[in-house]
Structure 1
Amino acid sequence: MAAGAQSAVVLCGPGNNGGDGFVIARMLHARGWQVAVFFYGDAARLPADAAEAYAAWQAVGPVHPLSQPEPDETQLCALADVVLPGPTGPIGGTMAAAPGRLVLIDALFGTGLTRPLVGLDLTLRLCQEARAPAAFVAVDVPSGLCADAGRVLTTPAGAALCLPADLTVSFHGRKPGHLLAEGPEICGKVVVADIGLPDDPAPQVRPVDAPRAADLDKAALRGAHKFAHGHAVVVSGGVGQGGASRLAARAALRIGAGLVTLACPPAALIENAARLDAIMLRSVRDAEALTQMLDDPRITALCIGPGLGLTRARPLVAAVLARGVPAVLDADALSVWVDEPAALFAALHPGCVLTPHLGEFARLFPDLADLLAAPASSGPAFSKLDAARAASRRAGCVVLLKGADTVIAAPDGQARIHSASGAQAAPWLATAGAGDVLAGLIAGLLARGKPPLEAASMAVWLHAASARAFGPGLTADDLSDALPGVLRALT
C-alpha cells in the first residue's frame, strides 16, 4: 500500500475474487484504516469461502450494494460520495476525514472471467475519475482483463470495460495475462503473494528468467579448442544485402560459438571481407555448393533468412533443413513459403527454431493470426501464447513469436513468455536489424549444444538485457557490443 494511505474503497464481486476483497477490507480495518465496501452481486449466491468472508466483514462494517445487472442511481451516488473530489454524503464525509491517499481496491472479477463487463460503465467511470491522489490496486488481475490472454474482453457492440491498476497483487504466481498483450500496461506493477501452495517443479508455461551464469560460461570446458564450442554457419544474401547476416554472425560469435562462418555468393565476398575479421567467409554460389559445405560434420548449427533475398531462398532453405542439424529460420527463410507453408512444415525437424514477427507469422499461419486479431469477446480469449503453441505443434519445432511480449513455444506444449515491459522494457529494440541479432544469438547457443527451447529463451532475455544496458541511441550493431557487459553482470 502507498505510504501514508489510511482510507480505502474495496469493490467486491460475486465470486471468490470478491471474497478476497472482503478479507482485505477486514484486515485494513483491523490496522486502523477507514474502509468502505461496495458489493456487486447477490450474497445468497456467493461461493462458500466468499460467503464466509462476506459475513465476517458484516460484523465489522456495512456492505454498500451495487446491484446487478447495473447499479441504480442511489448506489452510484453513494460510491461517488467516497471516490470523487469534495464528497458530501455520509459515507464520503467519513472517508474525507481520513488523512493520506485513497486506495481503491478492485476485487470485482479475477482469473475466472469468461464474459465482458456489462452494467458497470458508470461505476468504472467514477473510479477512473477518483479524487487525486488515488492509488488503484487489483486483486489477481484488473477487472475486465482476461488473465489468460492479457486482452480486455469486449461486448458485441465493441465496448471494452476495464479499470487499469497501479499495482496488481497475484496469488502464487504470475498469470499469462500479466505478461501478454495489454496486460503489462493495464496491470501496472505486479507483485506475487505467496499463499503457501507448492511450486510446480516443471511448469509448462512460465516467464523467461535470467540465464544461469553456469549455462553460458565457456570455462566449463577447460582446455577445449574452438570446435568444442560449436561451429555456426550463417547463410547470407547477395551484394548489398549482407548487413543482416553480418549482424547475425557477430551475435553468434559473441554468445560463445567457437567459430562462425558466413556463407555468401562469390560476388559478395569482398563486401563481407571488408566488414568482418573474426567471422570466417565461404563462397557459396547456390544450393548445391551449400550442400557440399554442410557435409562438414563439425558444423553444429545454422542460421538462414536475414538478408537472404526471396529469389533463391527456397533451395537454400531446403539444403539447410536437409542437413538435419539445429537451425534458425528467420525473415526471408519464412516469408518465401507464403504460398505453400505446408511444404516448409514438411521439411522442418525438431531442432529448428522459427522466429517470425507478427507479419511473418500471418504469412505462415493465417488462420491463427486471424484468431489473434479477432475481438476478445469471451474468456479465456485466444492469446499470443495459444497462437505460438498451435503454430509449434503444426510446424513440429520451436516457434518464437516476437514482440514486446515474446512467446517461445515447443511442440510438446512447453512455453516461455518474455515481457519487455515496466523495468524490463527495451523500446530501443524497435530498430532495423534487432531481429537479425536475435536470430544470431539463438544460432550461437544452438551451436554450443543448447536445446532449441532453452536457446531461444536465453537469447530473448540476453537480447532485451543488452538493449537496456546500452539504452537510448541503440542501433542493431550495438547489441553484440553490449552483450559482454550483460554476461559479466550475470557472473
Structure 2
Amino acid sequence: MLPVLPLSRDVLLHDAASSRRVEAAALARHPAHGLIERAGWAVARLALALVPHGRTAIVFAGPGNNGGDGLIAARHLAARGWSVDIRLVGPAAKAGSDAAHALHAARHEGLHPQLGAAALADLPASTDLVLDALLGIGASRAPAGDIADAIRAIETMRMRGAPVLAVDVPSGLDARTGQALGDAVVRADHTLSLLTLKSGLFTGEGRALGGRLWFDDLGEATGDPGDDAPGEDRDGIARLIGRERILRWQRAFARSAASHKGRHGDVVVLGGAPSMRGAAWLAATAALTAGAGRVYAALPDDDGHPWPARPELMHWDVERWSAPALGWRDAVAVCGCGGGTAIAPALSTVLHGSARVVLDADALNLVAADEALQDALRRRAAQGHPTILTPHPLEAARLLGLQAAADIQADRLGAAVALAARFAATVVLKGSGSVIASPGQPLAINSTGSSALATAGSGDVLAGWTGGLWAQSPGADPHDLACAAVAWHGAAAEGHAGPLLAADLIEAMAALHAAAA
C-alpha cells in the first residue's frame, strides 16, 4: 500500500466497468471470499497507520461489497482493541455474496451492527475515525433516503473533528467523471482505492473530495501500465501522468554544448488587445522562459513600446501574417491570449498556413463562433499541421455547442475526447485534473497542480510555455508535448500556500529547468 502522489511513472486509471473486469479476473484466482478479505484487511491496515493511537471508530456500511470491505476492516480493528460502532445502511446484502459473508463474519466475532432507523440515530459526540463504506464504485445516481442521510451523518462527524477514510471512492462521487452525483457526497480526508485506481479521484471534484489518495492493488499488480502487464491489467480508460513527464521531455530534448538561439525555434504570440496586453506579455514571457530561441508578440494596435521587464521579447507587426516570405509559417503561433475580436483576421491566416498552432482563450471563442474558422482548424490535421487547444470548461462548452461549463464538468473525459475528435487536434481541458486528449492516443489526466493555479493569467502561461517547448522540439508528438507542458505547469505550483500570481508562476516553472540540470 502506497500514497498515489507524487507519481514516479504513469499509472493506469479505470472506471467502474473496467474495474469490474479486473476484479472478475482477480476473483478467478482466489478462493471464495478471499479477495474481499484482502480488501478489508487493507482498509484496516491503513486505518491503523493513519490513527496509530486510535481506539474508537464508526463504520457506515452499505449493502454491497464496499460495505463488506468496511465490515471486514471493522472486525480487524475490533480484534486490535478498538471499540467499533457499525451502522448498516440500505437493504440487506444478497445471500451468499461477499457482503453477506463479511456481515456474518463480523457478527461471529461479537460485533453488533445497528440496523434501520437506529443506524442513523444517536451519533457519538466524537470518534477517532469515520469509515465511509457506503457505496463504492457502483453508484450511478444521486444518493437518496437512508444513504443520503448517512452521508450527511458522516459530514457531521467530520465537522466535529473526526477524520474520514473512504473505501474506493467517497460515497456520492462518480468513479469515472469525478463529479458529485447529487447534493449528498462524502468529503474524505483519505481515500483508499482498491485493486484499481479510479479516474474520478483525479479530475473534476475528485481531488477535493477524496483527500489524500492511497492505493492497494491487493497483490494483483493492476496499477502497472508496462508492456509486461497482464492483458486485463492494461484495460484502463486513461493514464495518470505526473512529474516524470517533465523529466522525459528534458531527457529527449536536452541542449547540446553547441546550442544557439537559432536552433531553438521561434514563437509568435497573437493576442494582447490594448486593454489586455498583460495576457500576451505573460504568454510571451513563458515561451521565452521555456527555452524558445526567439519570441515575438503580434499585438493589435501595437504601440511599439518596450515590454515591461523583458527586453528580450520582440514586436511583430500583425501585417506580417500576410507575408509568408518573411518566415512566419515555421514559427509556433500561440493565439488568443487577451486578443479579443481584434485578432480574427490574423487568426484565419494563421490557421490556414502556420505549421504549429496553440489556441487559447479568445482564439477558441472566435473559433466557436465562426464555422469558417472551425473548418480551417479541422483541415489542418489533413495538411500535416498539428494544433493544440487549451480550453477551460466554458470555452470547451462553446466549442461543443453546449450551454455552460457545467455541461463539460459533468463528463470531463468525454468532453475532451469529443473536442479532440471534432477538431482533429490535441486538447488540454484545463481544471483540477487537466485532461489531455488526442485522436488515436491514450487519454491522460494530469496529477500535478494545486489551487494555487486559480489565478488570472495562469492559462496564458500554460499556452506560452507549450509554445516555447514546441519551438525547441518541432518533431515532438503534440500529445506527449502537451502532457509535459501541463505536468510542468502544475508541478511549479505545488507547495505554494495561497494564490500563485502568473508572473511568479513563470519563475517557479523556470526553477524546474534548474532542477533537471
**Is the shorter-chain TM-score for this pair beyond 0.5, marking a shared fold?**
yes
Match of 1:129 in 2: 156
Match of 2:417 in 1: 389
In 1, Cα distance between equivalents of 2:432 and 2:406: 19
Match of 1:187 in 2: 210
Q: Secondary structure of 1:367's match? A: coil
In 1, Cα distance between equivalents of 2:211 and 2:86: 23
Sort the Cα spacing of 1:342 and 1:141 in 2 relative to 1 into closer, same or farther, 3 A.
farther
Partner deviation per Cα, 1:289-330 (whole Å, 9 max, x = no partner) = 3x443466xx352211113331341x3222222235221011
Match of 1:293 in 2: 326
Q: Secondary structure of 2:512's match? A: helix
Q: Secondary structure of 2:192's match? A: strand
Match of 1:103 in 2: 129
Opposite residue 410 of structure 1, the aligned amino acid is S
1:309 aligns with 2:332: no
In 2, Cα distance between equivalents of 1:151 and 1:338: 25
TM-score normalised according to structure 2 size: 0.77
Sort the Cα spacing of 1:49 and 1:293 in 2 relative to 1 into closer, same or farther, 3 A.
farther
Aligned residues of 2:290 and 2:468 also touching (Cα < 8 A): yes
Q: CA deviation at 1:143?
A: 1.2
Match of 1:2 in 2: 51
Larger radius of gyration: 1
1:247 aligns with 2:278: no
Q: CA deviation at 1:414?
A: 2.6
Sort the Cα spacing of 1:465 and 1:237 in 2 relative to 1 into closer, same or farther, 3 A.
same
Q: Secondary structure of 2:136's match? A: coil
Match of 1:485 in 2: 511
Match of 1:30 in 2: 79
Aligned residues of 2:416 and 2:427 also touching (Cα < 8 A): yes
Q: Secondary structure of 2:418's match? A: helix
TM-score normalised according to structure 1 size: 0.81
CA RMSD of aligned residues (A): 3.0
Q: CA deviation at 1:209?
A: 0.2
**Percent of aligned pairs sharing the same letter:** 35
Q: Secondary structure of 1:130's match? A: helix
Opposite residue 409 of structure 1, the aligned amino acid is A
Q: Secondary structure of 2:137's match? A: coil
Opposite residue 57 of structure 2, the aligned amino acid is A
Match of 2:42 in 1: none
Task: Provide structure 2 residue ranges, at least 5 long, that are not aligned to the other structure.
Answer: 1-49, 227-233
Aligned residues of 1:345 and 1:394 also touching (Cα < 8 A): no
In 1, Cα distance between equivalents of 2:495 and 2:405: 36
1:84 aligns with 2:124: yes
1:425 aligns with 2:453: no
1:406 aligns with 2:434: yes
Match of 1:331 in 2: 361
In 2, Cα distance between equivalents of 1:3 and 1:419: 28
1:364 aligns with 2:399: yes
Spell out the pairing of 1:346-361 with structure 2 (5 A cutoff): 346-348=376-378, 349-350=380-381, 351-361=386-396
Sort the Cα spacing of 1:274 and 1:65 in 2 relative to 1 into closer, same or farther, 3 A.
closer
Match of 1:378 in 2: none
Sort the Cα spacing of 1:220 and 1:286 in 2 relative to 1 into closer, same or farther, 3 A.
closer
Sort the Cα spacing of 1:341 and 1:46 in 2 relative to 1 into closer, same or farther, 3 A.
farther
Aligned residues of 1:139 and 1:169 also touching (Cα < 8 A): yes
1:456 to 463, 482, 490: 482
Task: Provide structure 1 residue ranges, at least 5 long, that are not aligned to the other structure.
Answer: 87-100, 155-159, 375-381
Question: Which deviates the most, 142-151 or 126-135?
Answer: 126-135
In 2, Cα distance between equivalents of 1:373 and 1:251: 28
Q: CA deviation at 1:490?
A: 4.5
1:115 aligns with 2:148: no
Q: CA deviation at 1:150?
A: 2.0
Partner deviation per Cα, 1:379-416 (whole Å, 9 max, x = no partner) = xxx42222122111111111112224422222236322
Aligned residues of 1:236 and 1:245 also touching (Cα < 8 A): yes
2:106 to 45, 50, 57: 57
Opposite residue 104 of structure 1, the aligned amino acid is V
In 2, Cα distance between equivalents of 1:442 and 1:488: 18
Question: How many positions carry a matched residue from both structures?
Answer: 447
